[in-house]
Amino acid sequence: MKLFYILLFSLGLLSCGGNSNRQRGMGFKPISLSADTVKNITSTADTITIDKVEDLIQLADFIDTLIYVPLETTKESLFAYNTQMKVYKNHIYIMDDLVAEAVLVFGTDGHFIKRIGDKGGAPYEFSLLQGMTIDEKRDRLALYDNKKRKIMYFTLDGDYIENTEVNFRYNGEMEFLPSGNLVSATCSWQRNVHLNNLDNYRLLYTDSTGNIVKAGFNRNDNKNLSTQFETLTNTPDGILYHPHFINALYNVTDSAIIEKYVIDYKHASPLSQEKFLSLSNMEELKEFSKGTMYLSGGTLAENTSHLVFKTEGKDQFYTFYDKNAKNYIAFKGCIYSQGMIFNMSPIYSYKDFFVTTVSGQQLIAMRDAMKKDNIEIPSQWKELYEKIQADDNPVAVFFKVKPL
């Protein structure tokens, strides 16, 4: 009897509420400068036309390679969610800002190195951890404290170095360019009024001292809606940017913001920017979203060969796009079998791999179902499946997708 372990993904409209009564601009230094603006280029994009979506697919049919890396479980290393995940120079960085409220540093073999997340007022301590990235030019870890409004720098092994102040509000979405400049994504509802004309730009470039040196992507994204869909992610091809409620992805450089992919939902009504800008509250946004389809920032990653993204709205599904073959596979749910199982959201990238996690409970459920149906656990994963405990740390999963 063949095992089919089925998981249907439950997707919902994500939002992050904001306090419309907060005092805007308080606590920041006024800025009046003519920062260099970064031009938009919209003539080079690949159009990905989605006209077929499968209800269920076999995971094993499109996975080429899968590697499980158990992350060492100790009292200090425990975490529940990977709200951000980075792999760099033999390190795995997991940010859990929901439960552990810390960054956990592991080796790529899974051994635990350090926990970063002491609470308090000292320079190396946090009040509200919300963003994480790697400064590859200077080989250091950068974490954003959204209450202190500071970026805190650590060595790759997690030792504190220094911090810099941030003179504007944003949600922690940030990535470094090869030049060393930091790009941060903002939303108009955050009302950085002290930035004057720069508040019209969704991407702000800062130097190593925290000063704004450039701005790009001039856009009104409806200050009435505290949606928080802005996404910045580092890829082997550079920084990929997704502005919420635009069905396009952009490559961000020091000199330009280049439209890289346009998503065409063949059987859906076009995503009307005019209608989006007329919405006045979150209830109207929910109704608006039911009649269209749009890219969601919940799952967005690109490796050397493929792009993966999630779609929400009147239909909800995931898409893997083969950049070489210009082909895709889109599906609403996944059939896990042959010992292969992982979470589809969130997903990150590392070279030619995608990276995510799977919980001990999920692995145990797979193991028990395979044993019940007398299916042999693949030898390369047998030790993991035999030793895993329900309260162990999630397991890191590295996987490659077959050519499509």
Which H, E and C letters describe 272-333, residue by residue? CHHHHHHCCCHHHHHHHHHCCEEEEEEEEEECCCEEEEEEEECCCEEEEEECCCCEEEEEEE
Separation CA 160–CA 378 (nearest Å): 42
| Distance (Å, whole) CA 218 – CA 230 | 14
Residue 329, domain extent? 5-401
Amino acid type, 189: W
**CATH at 382:** 2.120.10.30
Distance between start and end Cα atoms, the chain: 29
The answer to whether residues 144 and 151 touch, using CB atoms and an 8 Å cutoff, is yes
Contact 105, 91 (CB under 8 A): yes
Asked whether 254 and 216 are in contact (CB, 8 A), the reply is no
Domain count, the chain: 1
Task: Report residue 220 as tokens.
Answer: 């009104």
- State the residue for tokens 């994504």: 185
Q: pTM of the entire structure?
A: 0.90
- Rg over alpha carbons for the chain, rounded to the nearest Å, is 21
75 in Cβ contact with 104 (< 8 Å)? no
Residues 6+ apart with CB under 8 A from 208: 138, 164, 180
> Do residues 355 and 346 make contact, with C-beta atoms less than 8 angstroms apart?
no
pLDDT per residue rounded down to tens, the chain (404 residues): 333 333 333 333 333 333 333 344 456 666 655 667 888 887 779 999 999 999 999 999 999 999 999 999 999 999 999 999 999 999 999 999 999 999 999 999 999 999 999 999 898 899 999 999 999 999 999 999 999 999 999 999 999 999 999 999 998 999 999 999 999 999 888 888 888 888 899 999 999 889 999 999 999 888 888 765 689 999 999 999 999 889 999 999 999 999 999 999 988 887 888 888 899 988 898 888 888 999 987 789 999 999 999 999 889 999 999 999 999 999 999 999 899 999 999 999 999 999 999 999 999 999 999 999 999 999 999 999 999 999 999 999 999 999 99
Distance of CA 115 to the CA centre of its chain: 21
* Cα–Cα distance for residue pair 186/192, rounded to 1 Å: 9
What is the residue type of 220? N
Name the one residue in this structure whose structure tokens are 């330009």: 256
At 125, the amino acid letter reads: E
**Look-up of token digits 């006209």:** 51
- Residue 148 one-letter amino acid: K
